Amino acid sequence: MATKADWQDATGKVWARSFDRTDRAFAGLTQIMLERLSSMPGETILDIGCGAGELSIALATARPHARITGIDVSSELIETSRRRGAACPNLAFECADAAIWTDPAFSPDLLTSRHGVMFFDDPAAAFGNFHAIAQAGGRLLFSCFRQPSLNAWVTEPSRLLDLPAPDDPFAPGPFVFADEDRTRSILSKAGWRDIAFEPVDFGFVVGAGDDPVSDALAFFRKIGPPARVLFEMDEAARDDALGRIARWLAGKPHDGGVLALPAAAWIVTARKAG
């Protein structure tokens, strides 16, 4: 699916150029995450796999006395985050592998991530590292996708392109933490306590404006599992595939010019023993 190496290369570059589209896609989820985070204490906050930095910037703005660090493996995404967050004096971004990152001067009491924890080669080791660097009593809150069948925004274009199901459903990628029991076991073995799963449904915005279907086709050419396949097709095959996706999208409601498709996430919370 998507590995650390993909994020350090083409996938990270595309996301850095497309942050307006990805922030828009996740807007419904972001709002819910920020609501949940607003009731959690946190003075030293780590945003794991921060991407283009929207969540980090929102937290730094809401908590001017807190210190926020966003960390990501993609140098292009970190450059983009630094540019976008330049007005926040309490915000820093670092390009590093979060699975092994430590900073003795930065022990977080709140660790968060909007869909940035799903790409570790060894998730148990990564969550063990987050537990090790967290302060006693520190909180964890992250989002990830629930099962593919609840996420038509990705399953339907994949079906229309005849993409095979991944050989290993637990390989790094969007659905690696879809299974609640498996994720609970990983977190628990890593030392996390009070693990809870909140299911959240939201509209994943793929297109908007005067022609939301064309806008959505541009989205699918850049973002998500079908993007690479579309890129590698010859022009005729790509036009044919995009035509199939366009016909499917045309049947979807475009409320106020916004084309949003069903998406389902977990908001996972946990705590390090105090």
Ligand X SMILES: C[S@@+](CC[C@H](N)C(=O)[O-])C[C@H]1O[C@@H](n2cnc3c(N)ncnc32)[C@H](O)[C@@H]1O
- Residues contributing to the site for ligand X (CB under 6 A): 4, 7, 12, 15, 22, 26, 49-52, 71-74, 77, 97-99, 114-116, 119-120
Q: DSSP secondary-structure letter at 150?
A: G
With a CB cutoff of 8 Å and minimum separation 6, the contacts of 213 are 207, 246, 249, 250, 254, 259
Q: How far is the CB of 153 from ligand X (least distance, A)?
A: 13
Q: By CB neighbour count within 10 A (0-12 exposed, 13-18 middle, 19+ buried), where does 82 fall?
A: middle
Single out the residue of 247, 245, 260, 256 nearest to residue 209, CA to CA: 256
Least Å from the CB of residue 245 to ligand X: 21
- Between 95 and 258, whose beta carbon lies closer to ligand X? 95
Residue 206 Cβ vs ligand X, minimum distance, rounded to whole Å: 15
- Find the residue with minimal CB distance to ligand X: 51
| Least distance (Å) between residue 134 CB and ligand X | 16
State which residue, 76 or 215, has the beta carbon closest to ligand X.
76
- Which lies closer to ligand X via its Cβ, residue 20 or residue 162? 20
**Nearest distance from C-beta of residue 179 to ligand X, angstroms:** 18
Closer residue to ligand X, CB minimum distance, 79 or 211: 79
Least distance from ligand X to the Cβ atom of residue 97, Å: 4
134-166: b (≥16 Cβ within 10 Å) or e: bbeebbbbbbbbbebeebbbbbbbbebbeeeee
List, in sequence order, the alpha helices (H) in 199-273: 212-222, 226-232, 235-250
Residue 134 phi, psi dihedral angles, 5° rounding:
-70, 150
Q: Which is nearer to ligand X, 75 or 237 (CB)?
A: 75
CB 125 within 8 Å of CB 182: no
Three-class SS state of 250:
helix
Pick the closer one to ligand X by CB: 168 or 239.
Answer: 168
Crossing angle of helices 235-250 and 152-160, rounded to 10°: 130
Query: The tokens of 145 are what?
Result: 């996708």
